[in-house]
Structures are given as C-alpha cells and as structure tokens.
Amino acid sequence: MTVISAYSSPYKNIMETLQELHFILTDLGDEMVLIYADLNAHSRIWGYDNEDTRGIRVEDFLLAQQFYLLNETNSPPTFEHCGRKG
C-alpha cells in the first residue's frame, strides 16, 4: 500500500494538484492507495455547510477514481483560526 500526503494552497489552481495526483496514481497502477490531503476545498460530503468550486472538482476526482471517502461528516474541525474552520 502506498500512502500519499497532499496539500493544495487555496491560491493554487486545484486542477493542477488533482492532475499531479492523477499522474502518481497512474504510475502506481493497481496498487492500493491511501491519500491524506488538505486541498482547501469545501464540500457537504466531508462536513462543510457549503460547497465551493474546489470542493466540486475534488468530488468529481473522487468519483472518477472510484475512491472511498473516509471523512466523517460529523467530525469537528481540525483547526479554528481567525474565524475560519477546516
């Protein structure tokens, strides 16, 4: 099993990060993969009250890759800073 840790700055185009992940996954073939990622993306399926474009792109990526999301929607935020949560 390969474990991947990924980060995408909120100022970086999320599609670039997803493309990089896609290339890595293609190289790994059928190997099992676990991805831990902070992609600065909001989606209801991982517990946010709202969605943003980045979140929709990540959702599409997860579906296309046939990945399972392990986040629990009722989990508390992992941080709170200056009025922001994530």
State if pTM tops 0.85: no
Average pLDDT of 11-34? 96
- DSSP secondary structure of 16-79: HHHHHHHHHHHHHTT--EEEEEE-----GGGT-SS--HHHHHHHHHHHHHTPPP---TTPPPS-
Q: With a cut of 80, say whether residue 26 has pLDDT above it.
A: yes
Residue 74: the pLDDT is: 75
pLDDT tens digit string along 58-85? 999 999 999 988 887 777 666 666 666 6
